Protein backbone atom coordinates (compact mmCIF):
# COMPACT_ATOMS: atom_id res chain seq x y z
CA UNK A 1 0.00 0.00 0.00
CA UNK A 2 2.77 2.37 0.91
CA UNK A 3 4.65 1.57 -2.27
CA UNK A 4 1.54 2.29 -4.30
CA UNK A 5 1.26 5.77 -2.76
CA UNK A 6 4.93 6.41 -3.38
CA UNK A 7 4.51 5.32 -7.00
CA UNK A 8 1.54 7.67 -7.43
CA UNK A 9 3.51 10.56 -5.97
CA UNK A 10 6.51 9.80 -8.19
CA UNK A 11 4.26 9.58 -11.23
CA UNK A 12 2.66 12.90 -10.40
CA UNK A 13 6.05 14.57 -9.97
CA UNK A 14 7.24 13.10 -13.25
CA UNK A 15 4.15 14.41 -15.05
CA UNK A 16 4.60 17.85 -13.46
CA UNK A 17 8.25 17.99 -14.45
CA UNK A 18 7.35 16.83 -17.95
CA UNK A 19 4.77 19.58 -18.37
CA UNK A 20 7.28 22.17 -17.11
CA UNK A 21 9.94 20.95 -19.51
CA UNK A 22 7.42 20.99 -22.34
CA UNK A 23 6.48 24.57 -21.50
CA UNK A 24 10.12 25.66 -21.36
CA UNK A 25 10.79 23.96 -24.67
CA UNK A 26 7.83 25.77 -26.19
CA UNK A 27 9.08 29.11 -24.90
CA UNK A 28 12.54 28.46 -26.28
CA UNK A 29 11.08 27.43 -29.60
CA UNK A 30 8.90 30.55 -29.78
CA UNK A 31 11.74 32.88 -28.77
CA UNK A 32 12.80 34.87 -31.84
CA UNK A 33 16.46 34.70 -32.92
CA UNK A 34 18.53 37.44 -31.37
CA UNK A 35 21.91 39.05 -31.83
CA UNK A 36 23.93 41.97 -30.46
CA UNK A 37 25.30 45.21 -31.87
CA UNK A 38 28.45 46.88 -30.55
CA UNK A 39 29.94 50.02 -32.02
CA UNK A 40 31.58 53.41 -31.73
CA UNK A 41 30.58 56.85 -33.00
CA UNK A 42 33.30 59.29 -34.05
CA UNK A 43 33.80 62.46 -36.07
CA UNK A 44 34.40 61.91 -39.75
CA UNK A 45 36.79 64.88 -39.81
CA UNK A 46 38.81 64.56 -36.61
CA UNK A 47 38.31 60.81 -35.95
CA UNK A 48 37.71 61.72 -32.30
CA UNK A 49 35.04 59.68 -30.45
CA UNK A 50 31.81 61.55 -29.75
CA UNK A 51 30.20 60.96 -26.35
CA UNK A 52 26.45 61.20 -25.73
CA UNK A 53 25.63 60.29 -29.33
CA UNK A 54 22.07 59.05 -29.76
CA UNK A 55 21.99 55.81 -31.77
CA UNK A 56 18.79 54.24 -33.04
CA UNK A 57 18.19 51.00 -34.94
CA UNK A 58 14.84 50.52 -36.68
CA UNK A 59 13.99 47.00 -37.78
CA UNK A 60 12.73 46.75 -41.37
CA UNK A 61 12.83 43.00 -41.93
CA UNK A 62 12.77 40.05 -39.56
CA UNK A 63 14.75 36.90 -40.23
CA UNK A 64 12.29 34.61 -38.45
CA UNK A 65 9.52 35.24 -40.99
CA UNK A 66 9.55 34.81 -44.77
CA UNK A 67 9.78 38.02 -46.74
CA UNK A 68 6.65 38.97 -48.66
CA UNK A 69 7.74 40.72 -51.82
CA UNK A 70 4.41 40.67 -53.65
CA UNK A 71 1.38 40.65 -51.39
CA UNK A 72 -1.79 39.22 -52.88
CA UNK A 73 -4.03 42.05 -51.85
CA UNK A 74 -3.75 45.47 -50.31
CA UNK A 75 -4.26 45.59 -46.59
CA UNK A 76 -4.54 48.94 -44.81
CA UNK A 77 -2.06 49.64 -42.02
CA UNK A 78 -3.19 48.50 -38.63
CA UNK A 79 -4.20 51.04 -36.05
CA UNK A 80 -1.45 51.85 -33.55
CA UNK A 81 -1.65 49.78 -30.40
CA UNK A 82 0.13 50.10 -27.11
CA UNK A 83 3.19 47.89 -27.35
CA UNK A 84 6.38 47.50 -25.41
CA UNK A 85 9.98 48.03 -26.47
CA UNK A 86 13.28 48.32 -24.70
CA UNK A 87 16.07 50.87 -24.61
CA UNK A 88 19.67 50.15 -23.69
CA UNK A 89 22.79 52.27 -23.42
CA UNK A 90 24.93 54.44 -21.20
CA UNK A 91 23.16 57.15 -19.27
CA UNK A 92 23.93 60.45 -21.02
CA UNK A 93 24.59 62.24 -17.74
CA UNK A 94 26.11 59.58 -15.49
CA UNK A 95 27.81 57.44 -18.15
CA UNK A 96 26.27 54.37 -16.55
CA UNK A 97 24.84 51.39 -18.40
CA UNK A 98 21.08 51.15 -18.28
CA UNK A 99 18.40 48.93 -19.69
CA UNK A 100 14.78 49.86 -19.29
CA UNK A 101 11.40 49.14 -20.79
CA UNK A 102 8.69 51.61 -21.64
CA UNK A 103 5.22 51.55 -23.13
CA UNK A 104 3.62 53.85 -25.67
CA UNK A 105 2.48 54.11 -29.24
CA UNK A 106 5.57 52.54 -30.74
CA UNK A 107 6.07 49.80 -33.27
CA UNK A 108 8.18 47.54 -31.06
CA UNK A 109 10.98 47.50 -33.66
CA UNK A 110 13.06 50.43 -32.44
CA UNK A 111 16.16 50.05 -30.28
CA UNK A 112 18.04 53.01 -28.82
CA UNK A 113 21.30 53.71 -27.02
CA UNK A 114 23.60 56.57 -26.00
CA UNK A 115 27.35 56.38 -26.37
CA UNK A 116 29.67 56.59 -23.39
CA UNK A 117 32.62 58.94 -22.87
CA UNK A 118 34.66 56.98 -25.45
CA UNK A 119 31.88 57.05 -28.03
CA UNK A 120 31.01 53.36 -27.52
CA UNK A 121 27.53 51.85 -27.49
CA UNK A 122 25.97 48.41 -27.43
CA UNK A 123 22.57 46.82 -27.93
CA UNK A 124 22.34 43.31 -26.56
CA UNK A 125 19.80 40.65 -27.41
CA UNK A 126 17.87 42.51 -30.08
CA UNK A 127 15.78 40.49 -32.57
CA UNK A 128 17.69 39.33 -35.62
CA UNK A 129 16.82 41.12 -38.83
CA UNK A 130 17.62 44.02 -41.15
CA UNK A 131 17.91 47.38 -39.40
CA UNK A 132 18.20 50.98 -40.52
CA UNK A 133 20.77 52.92 -38.50
CA UNK A 134 20.44 56.51 -37.30
CA UNK A 135 22.91 58.43 -35.15
CA UNK A 136 23.22 62.06 -34.15
CA UNK A 137 24.81 64.18 -31.45
CA UNK A 138 24.53 67.86 -30.57
CA UNK A 139 26.46 68.91 -33.69
CA UNK A 140 27.28 65.80 -35.72
CA UNK A 141 24.95 63.60 -37.74
CA UNK A 142 25.30 60.31 -39.58
CA UNK A 143 23.55 61.78 -42.64
CA UNK A 144 23.32 65.04 -44.48
CA UNK A 145 19.86 66.45 -43.94
CA UNK A 146 19.16 66.66 -47.66
CA UNK A 147 20.29 63.09 -48.29
CA UNK A 148 18.32 61.73 -45.35
CA UNK A 149 14.98 63.06 -46.59
CA UNK A 150 15.52 63.08 -50.36
CA UNK A 151 17.32 59.74 -50.75
CA UNK A 152 16.08 57.29 -48.11
CA UNK A 153 17.65 54.43 -50.05
CA UNK A 154 21.09 55.80 -49.09
CA UNK A 155 20.53 55.30 -45.38
CA UNK A 156 22.72 52.72 -43.70
CA UNK A 157 21.23 49.26 -43.26
CA UNK A 158 22.79 46.40 -41.35
CA UNK A 159 21.93 42.74 -40.77
CA UNK A 160 21.82 41.39 -37.22
CA UNK A 161 22.14 37.59 -37.26
CA UNK A 162 21.08 35.06 -34.66
CA UNK A 163 23.70 34.48 -31.97
CA UNK A 164 26.24 36.79 -33.61
CA UNK A 165 27.80 40.11 -32.68
CA UNK A 166 27.78 42.95 -35.20
CA UNK A 167 30.44 45.68 -34.88
CA UNK A 168 29.63 49.14 -36.26
CA UNK A 169 31.90 52.13 -36.84
CA UNK A 170 29.69 55.18 -37.29
CA UNK A 171 31.50 58.13 -38.90
CA UNK A 172 29.36 61.18 -38.14
CA UNK A 173 29.50 64.21 -40.40
CA UNK A 174 30.59 67.45 -38.69
CA UNK A 175 28.55 70.65 -38.86
CA UNK A 176 29.25 73.28 -41.45
CA UNK A 177 31.65 76.00 -40.26
CA UNK A 178 29.82 78.70 -38.33
CA UNK A 179 30.55 81.58 -35.99
CA UNK A 180 28.32 83.26 -33.43
CA UNK A 181 28.97 86.40 -31.40
CA UNK A 182 27.89 86.71 -27.78
CA UNK A 183 27.81 90.18 -26.23
CA UNK A 184 27.26 89.91 -22.46
CA UNK A 185 26.26 93.58 -22.35
CA UNK A 186 25.66 96.33 -24.87
CA UNK A 187 27.09 99.32 -22.94
CA UNK A 188 30.48 99.52 -21.20
CA UNK A 189 32.01 102.17 -18.96
CA UNK A 190 35.40 103.59 -20.03
CA UNK A 191 37.22 101.77 -17.20
CA UNK A 192 35.32 98.52 -17.69
CA UNK A 193 36.95 95.64 -19.61
CA UNK A 194 35.36 94.92 -22.96
CA UNK A 195 34.73 91.22 -23.55
CA UNK A 196 33.32 89.54 -26.62
CA UNK A 197 32.06 85.96 -26.60
CA UNK A 198 32.50 83.76 -29.66
CA UNK A 199 31.16 80.31 -30.40
CA UNK A 200 31.70 78.39 -33.58
CA UNK A 201 33.19 75.52 -35.49
CA UNK A 202 36.01 75.51 -38.06
CA UNK A 203 39.36 73.90 -38.77
CA UNK A 204 41.47 76.96 -37.93
CA UNK A 205 43.63 77.32 -34.84
CA UNK A 206 43.15 81.09 -34.52
CA UNK A 207 40.39 83.58 -35.12
CA UNK A 208 40.79 87.24 -36.07
CA UNK A 209 38.77 89.81 -34.16
CA UNK A 210 38.38 93.33 -35.51
CA UNK A 211 36.85 96.24 -33.61
CA UNK A 212 35.13 98.85 -35.76
CA UNK A 213 34.01 102.35 -34.94
CA UNK A 214 31.20 104.06 -36.81
CA UNK A 215 32.35 107.06 -38.83
CA UNK A 216 29.88 109.77 -38.11
CA UNK A 217 29.94 113.30 -39.48
CA UNK A 218 27.26 115.82 -38.63
CA UNK A 219 26.80 116.86 -42.25
CA UNK A 220 26.35 113.28 -43.44
CA UNK A 221 23.34 111.15 -42.63
CA UNK A 222 24.00 107.52 -41.92
CA UNK A 223 21.94 104.99 -43.88
CA UNK A 224 18.95 103.61 -42.01
CA UNK A 225 20.10 100.07 -42.81
CA UNK A 226 23.24 100.65 -40.73
CA UNK A 227 21.11 101.44 -37.69
CA UNK A 228 19.17 98.23 -38.16
CA UNK A 229 22.40 96.26 -38.55
CA UNK A 230 23.93 97.77 -35.39
CA UNK A 231 20.75 96.99 -33.48
CA UNK A 232 20.89 93.37 -34.68
CA UNK A 233 24.46 92.88 -33.40
CA UNK A 234 23.83 94.80 -30.18
CA UNK A 235 23.69 91.66 -28.06
CA UNK A 236 25.21 89.14 -30.44
CA UNK A 237 24.88 87.39 -33.76
CA UNK A 238 23.36 83.94 -34.15
CA UNK A 239 22.62 83.85 -37.86
CA UNK A 240 24.81 82.78 -40.75
CA UNK A 241 28.27 84.32 -40.30
CA UNK A 242 28.38 84.86 -44.07
CA UNK A 243 25.60 87.42 -43.68
CA UNK A 244 27.66 89.22 -41.05
CA UNK A 245 30.64 89.44 -43.42
CA UNK A 246 28.46 90.77 -46.24
CA UNK A 247 26.94 93.42 -43.96
CA UNK A 248 30.38 94.60 -42.80
CA UNK A 249 31.53 94.79 -46.40
CA UNK A 250 28.41 96.67 -47.45
CA UNK A 251 28.81 99.34 -44.74
CA UNK A 252 32.63 99.46 -44.93
CA UNK A 253 32.63 103.14 -45.92
CA UNK A 254 30.91 104.02 -42.64
CA UNK A 255 33.13 101.85 -40.43
CA UNK A 256 36.68 102.47 -39.22
CA UNK A 257 38.89 99.64 -37.97
CA UNK A 258 40.55 100.64 -34.69
CA UNK A 259 41.80 97.27 -33.39
CA UNK A 260 42.55 93.81 -34.74
CA UNK A 261 43.84 90.72 -32.99
CA UNK A 262 44.43 87.04 -33.82
CA UNK A 263 43.26 85.02 -30.82
CA UNK A 264 44.00 81.30 -30.40
CA UNK A 265 40.92 79.12 -30.38
CA UNK A 266 40.42 77.37 -27.05
CA UNK A 267 37.70 75.58 -25.19
CA UNK A 268 36.67 73.06 -27.85
CA UNK A 269 34.24 70.39 -26.71
CA UNK A 270 34.59 66.74 -27.82
CA UNK A 271 32.81 67.61 -31.07
CA UNK A 272 35.19 70.47 -31.90
CA UNK A 273 32.80 73.35 -31.18
CA UNK A 274 34.51 76.13 -29.23
CA UNK A 275 33.12 78.74 -26.84
CA UNK A 276 35.38 81.42 -25.39
CA UNK A 277 35.58 85.07 -24.41
CA UNK A 278 38.20 87.46 -25.74
CA UNK A 279 39.18 90.75 -24.10
CA UNK A 280 39.32 93.83 -26.32
CA UNK A 281 41.15 97.07 -25.41
CA UNK A 282 39.28 99.66 -23.40
CA UNK A 283 37.81 102.50 -25.40
CA UNK A 284 37.39 106.18 -24.53
CA UNK A 285 33.96 107.68 -24.12
Name the segment(s) of the chain with CATH classification 2.60.40.10. Answer: 32-63+81-172
Query: What is the pLDDT tens value at each position of the chain, 285 positions in all?
Result: 555 565 556 555 655 555 555 444 444 455 679 999 999 999 999 999 999 999 999 998 887 654 444 444 444 444 433 334 455 555 545 545 555 444 333 456 889 999 999 999 999 999 999 999 999 999 999 999 888 888 888 899 999 999 999 999 999 999 998 888 888 777 878 778 888 888 999 888 998 888 888 887 766 778 888 888 888 888 788 777 788 888 888 989 889 888 888 999 998 999 999 999 888 887 766
Q: What is the DSSP string of the chain?
A: -HHHHHHHHHHHHHHHHHHHHHHHHHHHHHSPPEEEEEEEEEETTT--B-TT-EEEEEEEEETTS---SS-SS--PPPPP--EEEEEEEE-TTT--EEEEEEEES--S-EEEEE--TTSEEEEEEEESEEEEEEEE-SS-BSS-HHHHHH-GGGS-EEEE-TT-EEEEEEEEBPPPPEEEEE-S-S---TTSPEEEEEEEE-S-SEEEEEEEEE---TTSPPPHHHHHHHHHTSSEE-S-HHHHHHHHHHTGGGEEEEEEEEEEP--B-TTS-EEEEEEE-----
Answer CATH for 32-63+81-172 from 2.60.40.10, 3.20.20.70, 2.60.15.10, 2.70.98.10? 2.60.40.10
Amino acid sequence: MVWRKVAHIALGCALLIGFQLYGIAGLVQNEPPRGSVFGVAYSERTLAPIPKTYVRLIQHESTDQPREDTPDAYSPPAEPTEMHTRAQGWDAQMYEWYECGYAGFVDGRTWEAYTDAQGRFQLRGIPAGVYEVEARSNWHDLYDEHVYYAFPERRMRVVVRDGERLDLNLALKPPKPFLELIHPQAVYYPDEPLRVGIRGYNDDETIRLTLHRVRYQSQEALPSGLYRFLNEVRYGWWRDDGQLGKALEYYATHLESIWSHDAPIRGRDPEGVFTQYVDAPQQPE
